[in-house]
Amino acid sequence: MLPPVSTPIELPVYQPHPPERADAARNRRRILAAAERLFAERGVAQTSMDAIAAEAGVGKGTLFRRFGDRASLALAVLDEKDRQFQDALLHGPPPLGPGAPPCARLRAFGEAMLDRLEENLDLLLDAQTAAGNYLRSEPYSALWLHVRLLVQQARPDCDADYTTDVLLGALTAPVFAHQRKARGMDLDRLKAGYADLVDRLMTAPIRAGVS
């Protein structure tokens, strides 16, 4: 159970990469650089693990032992950007960072997440649709706890777990792709809609009989 809102709580931070041999570190950097290049040139879905291994100049066994599958590799490519985003949440200027009211931070979080989706949709779509791996990943867990803490601060009387799932569900890559590509909704409309969703969820009265 989470402690009361008045108790200072720190979000989990990404741990440094574990120590590794120099040759393993070089291979990791080469693989990630090759994957980023090929994903940008061809798209994630059109890039095979064989092609990435060839581009990086490593054996397929090395690639698969290190990353397992393409979705895990896509998450690894996004790792540095995830770390930068978390740093903005923890230490950046408000309203995305500390110092603003929780509703303002939730709105800023949604806007920033939508910008990330617009910039990295292909990678995020591939990573998030891989048999539920994304929902068990470190990046998602950190974002979930961040949103949950803000929800708890803004609405201590609501079901914080459920509300957090709803707010993050609206910011998943499959939903964003459907809105942008199938529905033709522009980015400004999505940002305005998310801000409205936050305001409604964070200010609506609790229904009678709901705890």
96 plus 37 within the same structural domain? no
CATH number, position 121: 1.10.357
| Average pLDDT of the chain, as a whole number | 86
Residue 75 burial class via C-beta count within 10 angstroms: exposed 0-12, middle 13-18, buried 19 and up:
buried
Range of the domain at 50: 22-68
98 plus 198 within the same structural domain? yes
Residue that finishes a domain, picked among 8, 41, 68: 68
Is 10 a domain residue?
A: no
Q: Which of 119, 124, 123 is nearest to 143 (CA)?
A: 124
178 plus 85 within the same structural domain? yes
Examine the pLDDT at 6 and tell me if it is beyond 50.
no
Most confident segment among 8-17, 60-69, 76-85: 60-69
pLDDT digits (tens, 9 = 90+) for 143-160: 999 999 999 999 999 999
114 plus 195 within the same structural domain? yes
pLDDT digits (tens, 9 = 90+) for 124-147: 887 787 656 678 778 889 999 999
Region 44-73 average pLDDT: 92
Predicted pLDDT at 70: 87
